[in-house]
Each structure stands twice: as C-alpha cells, then as structure tokens.
Amino acid sequence: MYKHVALLVRKDGMEYDAFREHWEETHSPLAKDIEGVVRYQTVYPTDPDTAEFDGIAELYFQSLDDLHEALGSEGSRDYDPSREVAAEARKDVNEFLDVERRPRFIGEERVWKDEVDGKTDGLYKHSAFLVRKDGMEHDEFREHWEETHSPLAKDIEGAVRYQTVYPTDPDNAEFDGVAELYFESLDDLHKALGSEGSRDYDPTQDVAAKARKDVDSFLDIDRRPRFIGEEKVWKNEIDVEGY
C-alpha cells in the first residue's frame, strides 16, 4: 500500500484551535474523497504545545501512479493536481497550512505486527521520521533497520501495532523512512518511548531499552523528528488483510 504522509504546520498567526477546527470541519471532509484515496486518517497531537508539528495527515492509495496523480511526486512539497476533489483540497491547503514548512513523505508501508486487525481509530501513535547517521548509505541504513531494528521494535512493551514506511524515491525523500508504533493508552506509549518535548528518551523496559540502544547504531536522533498523537480514521476501503 502506498502512503502520503503530510506533517502539518499551520500558517503564521493562526492559533492551534482555529487550525484544528478548519482541518476537521473543512479540509478533512475534502481530503478523504480525493480521487484514488482508499484510506484517510489524521493524527492529533496529545500535547500541541510541545509537539514538533500541528498534526499528521495520511492518505493511502492502491498504486503509486494514483498517488502521484493526486498529490504530486517526490522532490517538492507543492503540487498542482488536475482532478476535481484533489484540486479543491489543494486550494484549501492555503487557507490553514504553511506549505514551505510542511514536510511530506511518500512511501510504501509494511506491517510487522498487528494485534488490532487494522483498527487504529482512537489508538495512540508514535511516528518517528528517520534520518540516517552521517556517512551511512541509504541501503546500509535500510538493511540495519529491517534486519536488526524492526525485529526489536515490533516487540516493544505495550505496542499493539508496528509498521514501517519505505521511501519510493530515496534520493528525493525528505526522510529515510517512517516508523510507526501504536499503543492502546498514552501511558503505555510514554513508558516505552518517552513523552512529548524531547526527541530522546530513556526507557526502563527491557525490549524498549534494547531498541533505544540500537537507535544510535543507525539514526541521527538530533535530526529525527517525532510525533505523538491520537489517530482518527475518516475513511477505510481497505480490507483487514490489505492493511
């Protein structure tokens, strides 16, 4: 499944509450119906005052061509869609988002663990936007991530779902990948991965501590944004096996 992840930054001078109201009441009802979208979900920060972004919007497509046609290709934060709803949603973006400060990521998702049958509505989610260490090639980074780190991360205490997103075009992607861990409670998430306000954390649980130690083997923590939030699923036309 191909996925477009937008890390939202509100326009200068807009209060968070006004941004969220517009996002929920005006933009999301448009975005969920963008041509080709089979799943649309949003992630709201659990602590907006310390979150690195104002929210995350995630759109899923069956094919990369469908995604590119609706939302543009890698290498640019802006896009100029020709399809009707996509064009209307793009126009609305200017009402509440700062596109120049809004990173995005296009990738292919892989699910490593799922104890909730794809039902993520209302779950708490930790999204890490991965940046590899200086001097490490992307292929070397990905090999370590897949063969060493993810087998640890999927078993972090309290995690009920773990998925990774690989860039479809690593040379033009803003990050080397995205790692997403879901928890049923915010306390479980904080215990495993720390709270808002810091990119680093010092877990005490066994597997979480091993995974944190391994992070230093392949990631640049200081350049790796993360986001803690609660997910809301607006549309899902994917069967459980497909997600």
- Can you give the pLDDT of all 243 residues of the chain as single tens digits? 999 999 999 999 999 999 999 999 999 999 999 999 999 999 999 999 999 999 999 999 999 999 999 999 988 889 999 999 999 999 999 999 999 999 999 999 999 999 999 999 999 999 999 999 999 999 999 999 999 999 999 999 999 999 999 999 999 999 999 999 999 999 999 999 999 888 889 999 999 999 999 999 999 999 989 999 999 999 999 876 556
Q: What confidence score (pLDDT) does residue 75 get?
A: 87
Q: What is the DSSP string of the chain?
A: -EEEEEEE-BPTT--HHHHHHHIIIIIHHHHTTSTTEEEEEEEEESSTTT-SSSEEEEEEESSHHHHHHHH--TT-S-----SHHHHHHHHHHHHHB-GGG--EEEEEEEEEEESSTT--TT-EEEEEEE-BPTT--HHHHHHHIIIIIHHHHTTSTTEEEEEEEEESSTTT-SSSEEEEEEESSHHHHHHHH--TT-S-----SHHHHHHHHHHHHHB-GGG--EEEEEEEEEEE-S-GGG-
Report the predicted TM-score, pTM, of the whole model to 2 decimal places: 0.95
Q: What is the DSSP string of 218-237?
A: HB-GGG--EEEEEEEEEEE-
Beta strands 159-167 and 55-61, pairing class: unpaired
